[in-house]
A and B are shown apart, each in its own frame.
Chain A
Amino acid sequence: MPGRPVLDGLTLSVAPGEVVALVGPSGCGKTTALKLVNRLLEPDGGTIRVFGKPAGEEDPVALRRRIGYVIQEAGLFPHRTVEENVETVPRLLGWPAPRRRDRSEELLAMVGLPASEFARRYPRELSGGQRQRVGVARALAADPPLLLMDEPFGALDPIARRGIQKEFRAWRARLTAAALLVTHDLAEAFRLADRIAVLNDGRVRQVGTREDLVERPADAFVRELVQDFAS
């Protein structure tokens, strides 16, 4: 697409252990921003630094194995069992089988899908919420210091969504990974993120905590976005 860039002048950093949400209407460039981090897309200009080094200088495959990636509808491999899905990255990294097994059991337990019952199932035998949990477990399998989540719970019904959001906060407490979360749902962003970056038309309108956004909206767009949350 020639003409207007999808993203322009985006500056944002995520600290270790921090969850930052990118929020905005569809087409605002939030998914593009996420994919620049693990080099599924390359920028026309500017630098993306991951783990302190410019992402462009790293081997994209090696980089991606150190970044957890959760996408909408989970994107699980339909021909692989739950366990095999979770062990994807450890297998790519060449972990020995017993270590892979221990890790996948640990993660499946964490996301509430005990391995004894779920390890051998195929994705089609799971509910949408269960699939999404497996997607999170798969992303965390190799203990990545950074987690990218693209509308991770977007396809779930409101009840399942609330449940998994609540659990995500519990999982987070046990993890040291930084996370970048893309969502169009401001309520989800407020629930899960420490800081929120509001995007519109490829530009950052405001970056801040819930309080910053609600109490001190930077412009009319942010004000309208947060009006339901204003007390």
Chain B
Amino acid sequence: MTATRLALTLTVALGLGASAVAAADKPDPVADAKAFQQFFVRKFPKVAFDDFVNGPYSMNEDMRRQWEEKEQFPPYEFALEAGKEMFSKPFKNGKTYADCFPNGGIGIRQTYPYFDDKEGKVVTLELALNRCREANGEQPYSYVKDEMAALTAYMAFTSRGKRFDIKIPDDPRALEAYENGKEYFYTRRGQLNFSCASCHIQSPGERIRAETLAPALGILNAMPIYRSEWSGMGTTSRRFVTCNSQTRAVPLEPQSDEYRNLEYYLSYVSNGLPVSGPGARP
């Protein structure tokens, strides 16, 4: 009798232990986002929550003043105007970008990227724009700058102030994409052995050479950006590619599964923060 009880107790204990391990391993994006946001709020108690979307300007008063002055004549203005014109100009078949997006593509930036259950993958705004072009018989644009940056600048501008609202549907593939994005974010790579988190979690507000590092929270809300370092506009794809190169890692192809998943993760944990793009950075 005692032996039976002992065996039963052990079985229950082992079962509970296994459940606890399984629960710890199960992805929980809601808890992740809460912990992620709390980390930054606690680390930077003087920074207003919405201000995290302004990257280094939320961390450095001098930089902020210069940026505010620059915003009188923002360097992304030409791209914004070009993007507006391109967005409304019909394709050769008479259709426009508006035909490819909900609400005619206006004020929808905050819902990208999304998980497409038919494809079983993450779809970013840049990808959706090129797919729209190809579906209408047009050549896709480069993902990193120029036309793509102009188009996304315009679409971001029409969504300014709207809060990121990235959804993770109840689909194991969506959770897997989110988890893979998280893994990419925290994984060290390149000869310099840096992860995205090394700069944007551990060191926001600190300098790396001449640059002040932006916090990861809200970092994509300002995309696309004009960077003085680039002397031009760059998309989210360009940001990822450049970050990888700077760590001496060979960058992946823009819109590779890894980058799409990374964008999904980073956008999700910034849910609730407003769109501020297009942005300008040193």
Binding between chains A and B = no
B residues within 8 Å of A by Cβ? none
A residues within 8 Å of B by Cβ? none
